[in-house]
Structure 1
Amino acid sequence: MLFDLQSRGRRTAVKIVYLGLAVLIGGGLVLFGVGTGTGGGGLLDIFNNDTQDTSSQISNTEKRAQRAVRVNPQDAAAWAELARARYLRAGVGDNFNETEGTFTAQGQTQLRSAEQAWERYLALRPARPDSNVARLMAQAYAALNQSADAADAWEIVTEEDPSSAAYSQLATYAWDAGQDRKGDLASEKAVELAPEAQQRTVRTTLERTKRAIAEQRVQDAVNSGAVTTAR
């Protein structure tokens, strides 16, 4: 998977390729807190701010959301807020290794709790799913090696943010999930939406991303075979 915590080479290669694309076309990614409508809140903000105050705020938000869903399990907004709070909790303290840039085992447990809240939210079929929380959940699913779920979450983002950056990210998640047709369509859309002067670069970068993912998939298969043979 794209953000396989056990595959540093893959994580580095593909993330660098995609980050280069994101910077080139102006971001629009939660990584930088751009385009979320929150005036910040990107991953860099979350994971670099480990103050007591931040942790306390997240805890209070989570508790409020938990109370709200207990009182009214049909409160979709409360489930979305709970998913958001649990995701944010996964990014602070002992839940996140800032040196490695990865979630710890504790952090991944928090991400799974966020996933449960998100699934409850989606089960209520909100008329307009929260794209800001969807951005966070896509990151959560990627960290949990669930690229297909990440792609599903990111499709919600593209509905609210039909930009070249958003479709580029969708293509990346889809390819990593083995959903090549979806990835190719998203890639084509990303190129189409990019400024004309940047379309060639966007296309080339996405081609490199797809190739890197495909090569890593082959390498993973080889490594898996080697492990099986060794056993």
Structure 2
Amino acid sequence: MLFDLQSPGRRRIIKVVYAMLAILLAVGLVGFGIGSDATGGLSEVFGGGSADTGFEDEIEDAEKRAEEQPRNERAQLELVTLYIQQGNQQLEVDASTGQTSVTSDAGESYGKAADAWAAYLALKPKNPDDGAALQMANTFFLLAQSQTTATDARAEVENAADAQQVAVEANPSRGNLGNLALYLFFAGEFGKAEQAVQQAAAKGGSDKQFDQIRTQAEAFERQVKQEAKQGAQSGGANPLDGGSGALGGGSSLQTP
């Protein structure tokens, strides 16, 4: 566990973490194209915050099919997509800043999408749907940015990495591997992230972007450790409750 919000020092640290995540998100996810191949991805998350999304009837029909055919993989995948689309429409966007907020309705819809995704994976599909995996990776990462504790945020980032891993196994493309590396960096799993970077780089293309991600990941790790140290000095306890990575688990980033 990294830290919670029990003290001003810890609240300051989590703000730094989210600020760094926002920077990495802007540089990394746009560059690697997260969501570009998945319906319902980050490019579609701007809704009006309305609980009435127009998907209610479709979801009701899909839920009925999934209940009647619990072993039907496609029925579960349909629920995944519909719940994500519903959640996207329930997001709120600040007109002045463009910042997206996950409403309680959106969070509930995304949670149902996660449940449907888990039910789908429990069926052990022979060839998991990489498009749905990318949608879920996007969704979990969006949820991570809306959490109020680092423990919860990291759990969602780890969920995003797990979903992205499914996409990688189905399609080990340079982009999918690069996206996996980013999620692992955000989770503080720097060693695993570096492995994914190396696998992606082996696919060819320019290394400039990967070098940029490494540099920013190193800065992210240093900043979080520095803030943790300052928080410990001011609060009398180390906000990083153990663990060697920047997010309380995993190894430090190693560059070749």
2:86 to 79, 85, 89: 89
RMSD of Structure 2 on Structure 1 (CA): 2.9
On the 8 A contact 2:136/2:160 being kept in 1, the answer is yes
On the 8 A contact 2:80/2:116 being kept in 1, the answer is yes
The residue aligned with 1:129 is: 128
Distance 2:28 2:184 in 1: 17
1:8-157 correspondence runs (5 A): 9-24=16-31, 27-30=32-35, 34-36=36-38, 41-44=40-43, 46-48=44-46, 50=48, 55-56=53-54, 58-93=55-90, 96-99=91-94, 100-142=99-141, 143-144=143-144, 145=153, 146-157=156-167
TM-score, normalisation: structure 2: 0.69
Question: 1:15: Cα distance to partner?
Answer: 3.7
Q: 1:105 to 1:72 in 2, by over 3 A?
A: same
Q: In the alignment, residue 70 of structure 1 is paired with which amino acid? A: E
On the 8 A contact 2:46/2:100 being kept in 1, the answer is no
Question: 1:220: Cα distance to partner?
Answer: 6.3
Distance 1:223 1:132 in 2: 42
Q: In the alignment, residue 89 of structure 1 is paired with which amino acid? A: Q
Q: Percent identity?
A: 22
Task: Give 5+ residue unaligned stretches, structure 2.
Answer: 2-10, 145-152, 238-256
Alignment partner of 1:164 is 2:174: yes
Alignment partner of 1:180 is 2:177: no
TM-score, normalisation: structure 1: 0.76
How many equivalent pairs are there? 209
Task: Give 5+ residue unaligned stretches, structure 1.
Answer: none
Q: 1:106 to 1:51 in 2, by over 3 A?
A: closer
Tell me which protein shows more helix as a share of its residues.
1
> Greater relative contact order: 1 or 2 (C-alpha under 8 angstroms, separation 6 or more)?
2
User: Residues 123-168 of structure 1, C-alpha deviation per residue, up to 9 Å, x if partnerless?
Assistant: 0001111111111211222224222221110012223443332212
Question: 1:227: Cα distance to partner?
Answer: 5.8
